[in-house]
Structure 1
Amino acid sequence: MADKLISIQDGSRIPICSLFRDTRLVFKADNLGWEILSIAVPSAMALTADPIASLVDTAFIGRIGAVELAAVGVSIALFNQISRIAIFPLVSVTTSFVAEEDALTAASPLVEDGESLEEGSILKAEINELIPDKDGDVQKPNLIHMDSNVVKVEHKRRHIPSASSALVIGGILGLFQAIFLIFAAKPLLHFMGVNYDSPMLKPAQNYLTLRSLGAPAVLLSLAMQGVFRGFKDTKTPLCATLAGDLTNIALDPLFMFVFRLGVSGAAIAHVISQYLISVILLWKLMQKVDLMPPSIKHLQFDRFLKNGFLLLMRVTAVTFCVTLATSLAARQGSKSMAAFQVCLQIWLAVSLLADGLAVAGQAILAGAFAAKDYDKATETAARVLQMGLVLGLALAFILGAGLPFGAKLFTRDVDVLHLIKIGIPFVAATQPINALAFVFDGINFGASDFAYSAFSLLIVAVVSIICLLFLSASFIGIWVALTIYMGLRAFAGFLRIGTGSGPWKILRK
């Protein structure tokens, strides 16, 4: 009885208590806090840079007219959702695998592939030089020999099989996506609610077809971002993304208004920016990793496909929910779609700030689990969840106060502005829920709990789709259904960790 009382007071055997342990330390500037922020802040900035660039596109296109704004909104939603089907599993699996391989490599940095410490490694040679010889004298190390070995190790590019696999898969998927979107643009837009006689069809098809040419660059760059995240380096992707997005923003008015290409100019600018990002990332990655594997067997396609398929199920469910919501908004007319596009872009862009914490949690946790450092895993999970909740509350306040004044940046249409104001309370109030949902995802991915993440989201998607179909008669109803969807996502993540099941049995110890 006494032991049980101590356990309840201590909270160490109650999994849910581990998530709220030491909440006063949420902003403590200790080593873990700095490690999380050093990964999360650049990652969040990189993640939000592209949606912000899309918002800039939206603002420029809104100056042309409400029809063009709605058309591009449908095309962006379609392109992004189809991209997510390929990108999300690839990036998430890559981050976890690279973090695990990097952690194991760090444990024995001087050992080459297939070579043990007992079989002629550099470390063994240096240790032997310090062992007394037959006369009892300590052998002096050959400093010249040691220095040359150290230099050789420091400058040797690492062999990370997952990095090579991710690039091959990303390139192939990008080509398939480009071909698919170019040839199926019209029927896909029709599925999204753009009828063949709609004035939105031509600008939507032009934008989607041109932007699809950048699909290979998008998937390659995001696969490389997954590799850098696994190395806990989110600054390099940030610099590359900023360079690309600033190029996009600079080219938008040039192509759209100076060359008078309209929505096609916005798509061309975006494609150029994506290829610039991929070139920068590839150049930087080649300096760190040997991307040519020793043989085809070193490419871990089976491991990628197994876990990637689970996440493919998950992202397909997520994608269908958001795509269905966009389609239902488009069926209500161009004004409803234009307002929904603005609200959705803001909703997604701001929510991705919390995804930076998810990336940090995933990268740190994957390394901690690989090294069997379960204390760090528990502490990391608790800290990023607490940070996520605080961030979500702050974003809710900022958006609730600022969006009523900022909506005019996107359109001057009175009817569209009225609908945007209806959506603002949902965009703002759901931020704490969104933040927790994203962070729970990152934590479960860090624990390689891909199966639970996939099957739980399938259940969430079924319930959410039913809600969308029943509530889609009005603009408000669609946002109520999306709120239910994000709430169920957060609850699914909470349920796994809060009950201490799966890999989180460590919270019961």
Structure 2
Amino acid sequence: MITRVLVSFWNNMGDNPLWGLFRNPREVFKKDELGLEMAQIALPAALALTADPIASLIDTAFIGHIGPVELAAVGVAIAVINQVSKIAIFPLVSVTTSFVAEEDAMRSLKGETEEIKLLEKGFSADSELIPKTETSDGENKKRHISSASSAMAIGAILGLIQSIFVIFAAKPILEYMGIKSNSPMLKPALRYLTLRSLLFKTTKTAMVGDAANIVLDPIFIFLFGMGVSGAAIAHVISQYLIALMLMWRLSEQVSLLPPTVKDLQLGRFFKNGLLLLFRVIAATSCITLAASLAAKLGSTSMAAFQVCLQVWLATSLLADGLAVAGQAILANAFARKDYERATATAVRVLQWSLVLGLVLSLVVAVILKFSSEFFTKDITVLRLLHLGIPFVAVTQPINSLAFVFDGINFGASDFAYSAYSMVLIAASSIFFLFFLSSSHGFVGIWIALSIFMSLRALAGFLRIGTRTGPWGFLRS
């Protein structure tokens, strides 16, 4: 009887992507078509997604040598910037990735259908009537991708609104975050937040910007004696530099101006973007609340929290590159109704995320333990910092899986589930943050954040594991 149950369980789990985590482990890094396509998307996406957190980490490292008060102040300001920018831009980026992949799939299917019809009518494969993707001189034509045009237009507007909002509401926002009018953290936090808000996040940045930031930070902070303001100015300059480079490269391949206003598809963007807006508000509220609670514990706790948080975010977002790759390939597969490829993609990207998380766990534990003084020389800050390192390291595999599950859900256009589940997770996590921070202080905040990420990963497991929503095809 037991054997029969086990065999039935094995057979039922066969096509489940979660089962793929433990199946054929030797094929995780197989250099097949799927693996190469994932790598080609994941690597540049990871570099782009981690650019801003790494730039903030660079600022943190240099500012830490000014003093713990400045380090804590910048930590609060960065938490605010992350909250506002993610609310303004993340929903747009997420839906754009899926829409572009779907549009590309539909365009490809349309071209294949037209070519088949022409071949059936007797035209040869090299007939001029059959659509071509290249000009006579071999150069690629610019593609008209409505989703990309829409994203650029909406992103520019949202970026401008974001900057204006932060500039005029900086002081009350910081007071809400726990920095009172008589706090020594207020002035440096206000300067950094105001100057950083001048960066319109209309596009993702890459590692070239971080290199520029490394060069400019010491020049503006120490050589020009501008302190916290210099760090913010260096950050803005470096990010604008790479944004312009990316815009130039994109304009070579894609026509950024839509043929008509109808091609902007604004209604479709706002419908799905609204769901993800609720989701990102819920998710970022937990991180922002954690920073606020750390600030209320004092500048020492906030300084240590800032270092741990920036390392936590920068390393974890490497997995977001995998999430983008999985999302793009899955959106294309679902548009084509190629469920076999969708399953294979989910399996591979989850395997990669688990391996990446384990590697990051080891790297963070070793490097952060021996390089803590790179961020600050303050003994009390270092003592708290060492309490946070185990949480930053141990949660890496959990974070990787959570981010990748998000990408998988977005690729399947499962935006509603992603939004509603995140609201429930955030509500639970906020309770844990208040309860554990009051009883265990700095450590309690990190326990609550670990619970938050674990619940996010669990939500992804449940959706695919129960074969519901867009994954219902796994039952057949």
- What are the residue-to-residue correspondences of 1:76-475 with 2, within 5 Å? 76-109=78-111, 117=114, 124=118, 128-130=122-124, 151=136, 155-214=140-199, 216=200, 218=201, 220-222=202-204, 241-473=206-438, 474-475=441-442
Structure 1 residue 280: Cα displacement: 1.1
Out of 464, 467, 470, the position equivalent to 1:503 is 470
**Hey, what's the Cα distance between the residues in 2 that align with 1:142 and 1:98?**
29
- Taking a change above 3 Å as real, the CA distance of residues 404 and 17 of structure 1, as seen in their structure-2 partners, is closer
* 3-state SS in 2 of match to 1:291: coil
* Contact 2:58–2:213, Cα closer than 8 Å, also in 1: no
Q: 2:167–2:197: 8 Å Cα contact kept in structure 1? A: yes
CA shift in 2, pair 1:260/1:371, >3 Å: same
Partner amino acid, structure 1, of 2:447:
V
What residue identity is the alignment partner of 1:271? V
Quick check: 1:19–1:381 contact (8 Å CA) kept in 2?
A: no
Aligned-partner SS, 1:155: coil
Contact preservation (8 Å) 2:73, 2:188: yes
Counterpart in the other structure of 1:225: none
Where structure 2 has 5 or more consecutive residues not aligned to the other structure, the ranges are: none
- Asked if the contact 1:221/1:277 (under 8 Å) is kept, the reply is no
TM-score normalised per structure 1: 0.87
Q: Write the deviation string for residues 251-308 of structure 1: whole angstroms up to 9, x where unpaired.
A: 1111111211111111111111121122111111111112222221111111000000
Aligned identity (percent) is 61
**How many correspondences in the alignment?**
472
SS of residue paired to 1:314: helix
Contact 1:126–1:146 (8 Å) recurs in 2: no
Residue aligned with 1:193, SS: coil
The Cα of 1:430 is off from its aligned counterpart by 0.7
C-alpha contact (below 8 Å) 2:17/2:343 kept by paired residues: no
Which residue of structure 2 aligns with residue 35 of structure 1?
Answer: 37
1:59 alignment partner, one of 58, 61, 65 = 61
Are residues 461 and 129 of structure 1, via their aligned partners in 2, closer, same or farther at CA, if it must alter by over 3 Å?
closer
Q: RMSD of the TM alignment (CA)? A: 2.6
Query: How far apart, CA to CA, are the structure 2 residues paired with 1:444 and 1:320?
Result: 21
Correspondence for 2:28 = 26
Change (3 A) 1:129 1:315: closer
66, 70, 80: which one aligns with 1:68: 70
| Structure 1 residue 213 displacement after superposition | 0.8
**8 Å Cα contact 1:366-1:446 kept in structure 2:** yes
Q: Which residue in 2 is equivalent to 1:136? A: none
Letter in 1 for 2:349: V
How far, CA to CA, are the matches of 2:291 and 2:172 in structure 1?
16
Contact residue 46 and residue 321 of structure 2 kept, 8 A: yes
Q: TM-score by structure 2 length?
A: 0.93
- 3-state SS in 1 of match to 2:203: helix
Query: In 2, distance between residues paired with 1:145 and 1:129?
Result: 8
Conservation of the 8 A alpha-carbon contact between 2:118 and 2:130: no
User: Matched residues in 1 for 2:148 and 2:453: separation?
Assistant: 32
Distance 1:42 1:149, change over 3 A: closer
Structure 1 position 371, deviation (Å): 1.1
Structure number with greater Rg is 1
Q: Quote the Cα distance in structure 1 between the aligned partners of 2:50 and 2:20.
A: 30
Counterpart amino acid of 2:292?
S
Does 1:480 pair with 2:462?
A: no
- Superimposed CA distance per residue, residues 459-497 of structure 1 (whole angstroms, 9 cap, x where no aligned partner): 000000000011112101100110111111100111000
User: Partners in 2 of 1:310 and 1:153 — Cα distance?
Assistant: 42
Instruction: Report the CA distance between 1:22 and its aligned residue.
Output: 2.7
In structure 2, distance between residues paired with 1:146 and 1:186:
57
Deviation digits for residues 1-22 of structure 1 (CA, Å, limit 9, x no counterpart): 9999865443336675355433
- Structure 1 segments unaligned to the other structure (5+ residues): 111-115, 132-140, 223-239
Q: Which amino acid aligns with 2:153?
A: V
Q: Secondary structure of 1:221's partner?
A: coil
